[in-house]
Structure 1
Amino acid sequence: MCSVTTVPSIDPVPELVTRTVEIPDPGALLSLLPDDAPLAWVRRGEGLVGWGEAARFSATGADRFSAAERWWNRLSKTAVVRDEVDLPGTGPVAFGSFTFDDAGTSTLILPETVVGHRDGRWWVTTVSVTGNLPPWPMLPRVSPPRRPGLVTFADGALSGPEWELVVAQAVERINAGELEKVVLARDLVAESPGTIDPRWPLNRLSDRYQRCWTFSVDGILGATPELLVRRERGLVTSRVLAGTIRRTHDDIHDLALAASLARSSKDLEEHEFAVRSVADALAPFCSSMNVPETPFVLHLSNVMHLATDLAGVASGNVSSLTLAEALHPSAAVGGTPTDKAREVIREIEPLDRGRYAAPVGWIDANGDGEWGIALRCAQSDPAGGSRMRLFAGCGIVAGSDPGAELAESTAKLVPMRDALTR
């Protein structure tokens, strides 16, 4: 059993001591994970994985981000840090996942052990909260991931036709001038006869969606194509996705579809809303910014997205978590105007999003970190590990067709469905 310290927002804090050392290549990051509450943030074989809990912070409500950051600052800034590698992601690192709305529980977790890989360098960080230097790192022997038994799927809060009616309601409200865009989510329930080993879908997602960020934090896992924000030694970057078309796996046809997506007034309008919301949210925290005028088409194995990469220079010591809070929810996952879109979501979307479409990622003691949007994901049922809820969402604008949006949401559910069954 791992010792867990939940730290309140008042004194005292644990006497945190961390040791980071460089190690030889230990193999694929995800192959190092145990099956019990794995922590992961991996893309193209690089990133971070962790296990064990040295400390955990939980928060609810509108100030959940700032409360979590205050806890992390007090914990990490008073730590004794021995770091022989000195890269973003070395030293003490917390993995986090936050709820989409104010309800529910958001968490930051400080693992007992973190292994990282970047640019051909590997390291391991071990953590002690007793004030003593942690033991010399030893990587555990782990069993291979277990394939789930027969997984069955059922409608979540709504059936497909019922969800189409909700989309139609949203279009009516947009056409009435209440708002410009709203993002609606739907869920699917997956069940297995036995406990689902989270490492099985994690490995499948990482193999099949190498351009995405594969993540696992506190029961939510997936492979997101959307990087909400990265802060690395003063440089701020963000990838915005909005506007989607399903691939046919016929290369010639897919090129034609990509061209049509790039010309689609409906998708370009949706994308412009999303880019504008991110640029406006980042502007107060950046001394300069570069916002491309036109998007590019991002090709994933099952869909294509309109995408824009924004970059800026951070002003002051603003942290990656502060930036994530400022950006959430962007128009890509909420809508425009933000407050009105959230109001409409609460009124017509009959499901609890939990941590779907909210920030997930990591932060180090310097405030550097990467936060994605929890998309193409599933949340384990707290009552047992044999049931998961899968999520997908679509941006609804004036020209949206309910049937087409249902088909798009179905395509977005494919990665997690396949990860559990193939």
Structure 2
Amino acid sequence: MTPPLWTTEPGTTAPEAPAQEPAATEIHPMHWRSSTAEVSADTSITVGPSAQRSTDLGAAIDRAARRSTAGVAFGALPFDRTAASTVITPADITHIADRPVTQLKRASSRPSEPSDYLAGVSSILSRIADGTVDKVVLARYSDMLLESPSDPLDIAARLAVRNPSAHVFALPVGPGRHLVGASPELLLAKTGANVRSHPLAGSARRTGDPVTDEQAADRLRRSDKDLREHRYVVEAICDLLSPHCRRLSAADPDVVATDSMLHLGTEITAELDDPHASVSRLAAELHPTPAVCGTPRAAAGAAINETESFDRGFFAGAVGWQDRAGDGEWAVSIRCGEVTAERVRAYAGAGIVAGSDPTAELTETEGKLSTLLAALG
């Protein structure tokens, strides 16, 4: 069933933007599809506070939601929690109908070097062995150069067909730049005092054969390495949420299947002390979790900066929405890429812990890259 769309409350009008609010840029299209909403809209975007300034970020998105005639605003956080966010204010939200999908004309593909990734994993394993870090998520990318201009909403439509249960998004993150993806990972959802998170960590590639995939799922459930990798994420989220909660619980991990991967996933539920707390502020405090960064967070982030030769930008960040009540949902921005008219850069990462095998981690990134690359044909 199609979820309801947001509407302006009867008798209300959008307030004027505060004087300190940065000036909006030109209009950009966006799309979001999840279990709670499926919308497209023209939007204005502004530079917002970083995740590190979580209170300011929550306030900025709240102001944007109150300015919007639809009573909702979106946001995108980069991986770097000290870098500026993008605040997205929709106008004229409508239900997105079936879009005609145009043919993408690929000129060439340029993946990052597998040998560089293998060397990077070996370097991270050395840091783990000497006790510098417990887990680091190392990423790589693949560029697709296009002969004709891309349409980010077309790519989102392809992803929606192939990933029916994912958070599908095409959000503007700058002039001529969209973050487009189909994330299976819920960072945080909030309704009143109730919040929910569903982290994923510990992975195996799907083969398409039901028997083989079920065997792989059973191995995941019993894998000490994958369970340890997953536990880091669950513990970090619970530790960060618990000061805000009167009740918090985490279920036992189970296997979650996506179009190309199998993941260990854990359902975390909690009741907040303050039901008016902003979902955006809470999501910013959680970001980035060990699912996309590592643990300890500061040491893992430093290892990523020293090992990866590229800027992640908004990959491994967070995307989501908030309404005027402070409710909404945020997803981890994985299975995604940056889309411009001439290029699509797809990203993927794998969690490195003691016992990780460099070749297996490379294979995992190939499976994760395939979500966006398959949608591109």
Task: Calculate the TM-score normalised by the size of structure 1.
Answer: 0.78
For residues 350-369 of structure 1, the aligned pairs below 5 Å read: 350-369=309-328
Deviations 1:153-190 (A, max 9, x none): 1124xx00111100100001101111110111111111
For residues 144-163 of structure 1, the aligned pairs below 5 Å read: 144-150=100-106, 152-156=108-112, 159-163=113-117
Once the 2 structures are TM-superposed, how far is the Cα of residue 210 of structure 1 from its aligned partner? 1.1
Deviations 1:279-329 (A, max 9, x none): 11111111101111x200012221100000100112112111011111101
Aligned pair 1:49/2:7, yes or no? no
- Of the three residues 331, 340, 345, the one matched with 1:389 is 345
Match of 1:404 in 2: 360
- Of the three residues 240, 243, 251, the one matched with 1:281 is 240
Describe the SS at the equivalent of 1:405: helix
| CA distance in 2 between partners of 1:9 and 1:265 (Å) | 54
Match of 2:280 in 1: 321
Deviations 1:340-365 (A, max 9, x none): 11111111111100000111011111
Deviations 1:107-165 (A, max 9, x none): 1111111236xxxxxxxxxxxxxxxxxxxxxx9x9973322113531124xx0011110
| CA distance in 2 between partners of 1:170 and 1:406 (Å) | 14
Change (3 A) 1:63 1:43: closer
8 A contact 1:200–1:419 mirrored in 2: no
Match of 2:214 in 1: 255
Deviations 1:69-95 (A, max 9, x none): 223334555x697xxxxxxxxx41111
Aligned pair 1:72/2:61, yes or no? yes
8 A contact 1:270–1:397 mirrored in 2: yes
For residues 110-149 of structure 1, the aligned pairs below 5 Å read: 110-115=89-94, 144-149=100-105
Describe the SS at the equivalent of 1:186: strand
Match of 2:253 in 1: 295
8 A contact 1:7–1:57 mirrored in 2: no
| CA distance in 2 between partners of 1:142 and 1:209 (Å) | 15
Deviations 1:383-405 (A, max 9, x none): xx110111000000011111110
Percent of aligned positions with the same letter in both sequences? 34
RMSD of the alignment, in Å? 2.5
| CA distance in 1 between partners of 2:52 and 2:82 (Å) | 11
| CA distance in 1 between partners of 2:250 and 2:91 (Å) | 39
Aligned pair 1:378/2:340, yes or no? no
8 A contact 2:260–2:367 mirrored in 1: yes
Once the 2 structures are TM-superposed, how far is the Cα of residue 13 of structure 1 from its aligned partner? 10
- Of the three residues 48, 54, 57, the one matched with 1:59 is 48
Change (3 A) 1:145 1:9: farther
| CA distance in 1 between partners of 2:51 and 2:90 (Å) | 26
> Which one-letter code corresponds to 1:360 in the other structure?
V
Match of 2:10 in 1: none
Match of 2:231 in 1: 272
Task: Calculate the TM-score normalised by the size of structure 2.
Answer: 0.87
Change (3 A) 1:299 1:59: same
Match of 2:133 in 1: 179
8 A contact 1:43–1:206 mirrored in 2: no
8 A contact 1:229–1:236 mirrored in 2: yes
Worse-superposed segment, 101-110 or 276-285: 101-110
Match of 1:420 in 2: 376
Match of 2:270 in 1: 312
Larger Rg: 1
Where does structure 1 lack aligned partners over 5 or more consecutive residues?
1-5, 15-35, 82-90, 117-138
Where does structure 2 lack aligned partners over 5 or more consecutive residues?
1-15, 173-177
8 A contact 1:60–1:102 mirrored in 2: no
Corresponding pairs, count: 354
